[in-house]
Structure 1
Amino acid sequence: MHDPLSKRLWVHIGAFIVALGVAAARKFGAAEPRKKAYADFYRNHDPMKDFEEMRKAGVFRSVK
Structure 2
Amino acid sequence: MAPEVLPKPQMHGLLAKRLQFHMFGAFMVSLGVAALYKFGVAEPRKKAYEMRKAGIFQSVKSSWNIKNFFRLIYLEVCH
Q: Fold conserved (TM > 0.5)?
A: yes
Q: Distance in 1 between matches of 2:22 and 2:62?
A: 53
Counting helix residues as a fraction of each chain, which structure ranks higher? 1
TM-score normalized with structure 1 length: 0.66
**Structure 2 runs not aligned, ≥5 long:** 1-11, 56-60, 64-79
- Higher relative contact order at CA 8 Å, sep ≥6: structure 1 or structure 2? 1
Q: Distance in 2 between matches of 1:5 and 1:46?
A: 57
Q: Distance in 2 between matches of 1:8 and 1:46?
A: 52
Larger gyration radius, structure 1 or structure 2:
2
Name segments (4+ residues, structure 1) moved above 2 Å. Answer: none
Q: How many residues align?
A: 47
**Structure 1 runs not aligned, ≥5 long:** 48-64
Identity of aligned residues (%): 43
CA RMSD for the aligned pairs? 1.3
TM-score normalized with structure 2 length: 0.54
The equivalent residue for 1:7 is 18
Q: Distance in 1 between matches of 2:47 and 2:15?
A: 47
